[in-house]
Amino acid sequence: MNTAAFLAYLDGRQLRWGLVLDECAGAADQDPRAQLLAVFDALTEWAHAPCDGFRSNAFINAQAALAGPVSVIHEVVAQHKRALRGRLLGLAEATGTPDPGLLADQLLLLFEGAISTHALGSVGESAEKARHTASQLITAAAPRTPGPRRGAGPRTEELGF
């Protein structure tokens, strides 16, 4: 297998995901809680996109099938996942929640679980159900309205999927 070509595929997929995420974030209310939910709006849109969809998570598949713990593919996958967590963390911090790291981790686990269960067919409408659960988590973690929105984390080209 041509590693460079596969890494280019992952980069292209990452770029397409970033565009969907930015579109959903732009359509969301400026409240940081709405911005966090926009990540799950993007996931829902991605799940139903005719060209990509998420039959599975390309980054996790790459890690499982092609990479050892010290390979370039492992590092690229880990970088994308860290970037998504960074975006979630930045948004969680902006909500004023007392433990933004915990909220970011919970949302990341929910995000990844939605993709896995969708791929396996074990949960119908997993992205929609993940969004509903994310809304509950966000409301419980950040029930009050904070001040103006602060930074939203990494730029599009750094987002993880």
Q: How far apart are CA 152 and CA 161, in angstroms?
A: 17
Q: How far apart are CA 120 and CA 86, in angstroms?
A: 27
Among 105, 103, 109, residue whose Cα is nearest residue 141: 103
At residue 155, the 3 state secondary structure works out as coil
At 97-127, the pLDDT tens digits run 999 999 999 999 999 999 888 877 889 999 9
At 38-47, the pLDDT tens digits run 999 999 998 8
Task: Tell me the two tokens of residue 15.
Answer: 């770029």
- Report, as an integer, the average pLDDT of 39-65: 68
Q: Note the pTM of the prediction, 2 decimals.
A: 0.78
Task: Tell me the two tokens of residue 86.
Answer: 């960074």
Q: How confident is the model at residue 58 (pLDDT cuts 50, 70, 90)?
A: low
Phi, psi torsion values for 56, nearest 5 degrees? -170, -175
- Report, as an integer, the average pLDDT of 60-72: 57
pLDDT of 149 > 50? The answer is no
- Tell me: domain 17-158, CATH 1.10.357.10, correct? yes
